[in-house]
Amino acid sequence: MKKRILIGVIITDCFIDFQEEILRGIISQSFRSECDVAVIAPLHNFFNGSVHKDTEKYIFDLILSDKFDGFLYDRNTFYGEEIRSHIDDLLMLSGKPVMLMDSREHKSFETTSVDDCEAFEVITDHLIDVHGYKNIYCLTGPKKVYLSEERLKGYVNSMKKHGLTIDKYSCHYGDFWIDAAKEMAAKIIDGRLPKPEAVVCGNDITAITLSHALIAGGIRVPEDIAVTGYDASSDAENAEPSITTYSRPNFQLGAEACRRLYRIITGRICPKVPNENGALRLGRSCGCNAKPVVHRELKRQKQVNSEFESQLLYGDMLFDITNTDNVPVFSDRLDNYTYMLYKMSHLRICLTEKYIGATKGSYHDKLTFHCGDDVRVVLAKSTAHREYHMADTYSSSEIIPDLCGDKPYPSAYYVSPLHYNDNFFGYSAISFGKEPISFSSLYLKWINYVNVALELVRTKAIMSHTILKTNRALHYDKVTGMLNRNGVEQEFAKRAAVGFNMDSVDFITVELTGIKNTYYRSGEEKCNQISSAFAGILKTCVADKEICGMWNNQTMCVITFRENRAQEIYESLCQKIKESSFNSENSCNVDFSVGTFTQPVGDKIDISEAMYKSTVNKVYTYNTSELIENPQFEKLCALRNKIMKNPEKPWKISEIADSLYLSKSYLQKIYKTFFNKSIIEEMIEFRINNAKELLINTEMTVTDISRKCGYSSYNYFVRQFRSIEGASPSEYRENYRRESLSEE
């Protein structure tokens, strides 16, 4: 397959409605033209300087990647001539074609613009023709800025067309932000500026701020002064009063700029996506009694993000991802919080080798970045599934591995910096699959948590390594006395070097699921006491030559070459924990789960991947309170084991409930209580896992696999597989084989 054209987009504040519409147009047109997109999206703007923001500029070095074929550049979204000049220089140095959006003529770059002049004339016409206003002011953006001047020009054209007077009070330059609006309101309120009948503002935030400031000063909107905005943002719809505004054709701007750049790159004309033309959107701020239209999908997105933002603020994420001193554990924990990223299809956390190496260096070492530096993907996530095939180092000039090689369909990624103060760690890359959307402001907060965590992980790692150099014996967990993760990996490496006499290795994880609740109820000391006592019991359940250790702060592990050890260890643990409850000093009355994963020794063994799969594949769950209170627990464990072994069977909730002498509703309730998923969700997961194994290890057709996995409808199987894996069964098989060949 021929390499796709890669279009780079240089823009900031991607979460703002105005920019999001432009990006939607760019991505929609790029997908229509079979082009990939990489949006270099900083987390902040640069209107005021700081060490932190200066370091963020390193992300623009990716402009020099040879993978890019051309760039779309929204120069006006960057505040400050210094940052604009910096990006200009890099773009010219790249030697690739550049298309500016919404900008004046540039000596080196092409430009595509939307006619703001005509749109602003429509808004002013509405105030004059519909409401009969004559004394109208215009508050536009900064002087000599292209967008400001075009909008002011539209206002002037309308006033002149209607024969209305424009005096020294009529035209006002502002900042496209809140300060100029507040200043105008103050002047009107105290009489320094004659009171107009209406004010047309350069954008929605200016209009909202002006309305609120006037109302706070005793001037009614729209009864005393009408106000209009521009851009048709969601804030305008939700404001009180709702703002009459104009839906600028930003989508069309992005799409047209992309088409023009494509023609410059290829010399060909690409198919065009349907236009979304701008239009006047009426609110109450002009005197109309129109009810703003609330888009259903936008409303849902805001609701979901609001819920996740609350979880981010009050949940355990920051505590969890910072409580480690090594990158693999950090990645494992961060994996648990990617569900907060609304409609995320793919996520890559890419750290530089400088950062990874710095965990063994000095805290005072400065971490810089340049295009071409070595980078490693430490967390690769597709929808709800973790990927482990991207562990190798690659050059940052490739941006991310997903943009290289053959792919069945185009993709779009937002590439944002990971950094803290004057140290640059790498970058994150997020894709929303086939959805031409941008990330929300929640993503900025989520990434800032990641930045803080990476700095703390680095600090702790440096401290641990400093101690380790002094005392090499620190391969043991200080609380339990067991081997820690480093010790387990080192011991396993020793065994692997000698060679295995068995056909497979079993990785067993024992996760103390109740330890977090204990931490909040009783504190760290009690947690350590329980962990230590539990470790002592686990050690007595482990046979000779089995490796036993502490994988992370709440998960212990056993690596064994004997079969069926998970069941033996679980049963032994249950018995000994019950016995320990009679001894207050050694009691470890805590909820835990046991997972297992079997790895053939002929395959290359990635211990981190094996432990992760073991943790996911829970086969036994011990709940100290529910086990006593609910006699159905053991029956449900047996049921789950049957479903896991035979997911292709036509499992029916009503028949299962009858066999257990339970009602359907109560069965579903307690099943989800114990296993955190419904019976149907688990059955689907087990079926898809079976399908993946058959796709990888057999030559069966997709139709035969669908039947073998219990699907009567081939189309339904394909749809369900794609929704979970992000690719059809055929694409999944082809991608796996291609990756296997490349590794060989």
Beta bridge partners of 504: 600
Give φ, ψ of 10 to 5 degrees: -110, 110
Would 327 be classed as within a structural domain? no
Residue from 244, 297, 299, 242 nearest 436 by CA: 297
Amino acid at the residue 534: F
SS3 450: helix
Pairing mode, strands 136-139 and 110-112: unpaired
Task: Indicate whether 672 and 742 sit together in one domain.
Answer: yes
Q: What is the 3-state secondary structure (H, E, C) of 507-541?
A: EEEEECCCHHHHHHHHCHHHHHHHHHHHHHHHHHH
Task: Indicate whether 347 and 234 sit together in one domain.
Answer: no
Would 581 be classed as within a structural domain? yes
As to burial, measured by CB atoms within 10 angstroms (0-12 exposed, 13-18 middle, 19+ buried), residue 44 is middle
pLDDT digits (tens, 9 = 90+) for 140-188: 999 988 889 999 999 999 999 999 999 999 999 998 889 999 999 999 9
Strand order through the sheet with 136-139: 171-172, 136-139, 198-201, 226-228
Task: Indicate whether 260 and 399 sit together in one domain.
Answer: yes
What is the reported pLDDT for 231?
85
In this structure, the number of other CB atoms found within 10 A of the CB of residue 119 comes to 20
Would 288 be classed as within a structural domain? no
**What is the pTM assigned to this prediction?**
0.60
User: Which of 224, 248, 272 is a domain's end point?
Assistant: 248
Task: Indicate whether 621 and 694 sit together in one domain.
Answer: no
d(CA 151, CA 161): 16
Pairing mode, strands 70-73 and 393-395: unpaired
d(CA 594, CA 639): 16
Would 448 be classed as within a structural domain? yes
Give me the number of domains the chain comprises.
4
Domain that holds residue 669: 631-744
Task: Indicate whether 180 and 231 sit together in one domain.
Answer: yes
CATH number of residue 521's parent domain: 3.30.70.270
What is the reported pLDDT for 627?
43
Would 382 be classed as within a structural domain? yes
Task: Indicate whether 544 and 612 sit together in one domain.
Answer: yes
What is the reported pLDDT for 241?
92
User: Which of 629, 662, 682 is a domain's end point?
Assistant: 629
CATH number of residue 647's parent domain: 1.10.10.60
Task: Indicate whether 80 and 195 sit together in one domain.
Answer: no
User: Which of 609, 629, 649 is a domain's end point?
Assistant: 629
C-alpha angle 707-713-715 in degrees, rounded to nearest 5: 115
Would 292 be classed as within a structural domain? no
d(CA 153, CA 117): 6
Would 282 be classed as within a structural domain? no
CATH number of residue 183's parent domain: 3.40.50.2300
Cα four-point dihedral sign 370, 376, 378, 384: positive
Task: Indicate whether 136 and 86 sit together in one domain.
Answer: no
Task: Indicate whether 642 and 623 sit together in one domain.
Answer: no
- Can you list the positions of beta strands (E) in 153-251? 171-172, 198-201, 226-228, 245-247
Task: Indicate whether 525 and 385 sit together in one domain.
Answer: no
Task: Indicate whether 613 and 636 sit together in one domain.
Answer: no
Low-confidence stretches of the chain (pLDDT beneath 70): 1-2, 104, 277, 290-302, 304-305, 359-364, 389-391, 404-405, 465-474, 500, 517-523, 579-587, 603, 624-631, 633-634, 675-676, 742-744
Task: Indicate whether 479 and 465 sit together in one domain.
Answer: no
Q: What is the 3-state secondary structure (H, E, C) of 682-725?
A: HHHHHHHHHHHHHHHHCCCCHHHHHHHCCCCCHHHHHHHHHHHH
The structure tokens listed for 515 are 């330890």
Would 272 be classed as within a structural domain? no
What is the reported pLDDT for 295?
55
The structure tokens listed for 164 are 């209305």
